[in-house]
Amino acid sequence: MTRHMTVGRMIARRAVAAGASGAGFGKRAVTVLCFGAVLAAAGCSSDEPRLMNLRSSGAGPDEFSILPTKPLTMPPNLAALPAPTPGAGNITDQNPFADAAAALGGNAAVKDRPSTDRGLVSYASRLGTQADIRSQLASEDLEWRRDNEGRVLERLLKVNVYYRAYAPMSLDQHAELERWRALGVRTPAAPPPPELLDQ
């Protein structure tokens, strides 16, 4: 932000100096002054860079906040229906946590497994842990977003530059899969190569 403000002020001062030197405030000086003002405004638009700009084109409800219910089914025994519980959940309500656990092959009924996860946590932290890793990553990510928040017109027009900014950090899943396969590691859960899907 400071860099853009400094450049914008420098351009504006040169334009004013050109006008004061007797050349007059011609079209060229006005253009340079306007460009400097736009650059300065874009530079101090926000302290928190927004690389992903999502906005709705209509005034309707947000479709991502609407959670569809499960389809109605006939209970196996109409004489053994559960008692109504006002304020409690319904059997047709979605349960994202349980659905995600079931999709990954887990057991949604067991949410906390301190006894079985202790070995995994111990192995993952065998080389040590860093207490302030969250704040450090947040600070480094903020600096990265500030350095890669896009060009002036992209910020003014709110163009999405998220994927371009983080492209150096993205992982080529197909190249990584081939690397593991070349090492002899079995990957039965990996999808086939894209060229085989087109056949």
Structural domain boundaries of the chain? 1-50+148-188
Confidence of residue 183 (pLDDT cuts 50, 70, 90): very high
Q: How many helices (H) and strands (E) does the chain have?
A: 9, 0
Confidence of residue 196 (pLDDT cuts 50, 70, 90): low
Confidence of residue 26 (pLDDT cuts 50, 70, 90): low
pLDDT number for residue 63 = 72
Confidence of residue 112 (pLDDT cuts 50, 70, 90): low
pLDDT number for residue 1 = 47
pTM of the model: 0.47
Task: Choose among 172, 173, 179: nearest CA to 191.
Answer: 173
Distance CA 174, CA 68 (A): 34
Residue 22: pLDDT over 50: no
Residue 129: pLDDT over 80: yes
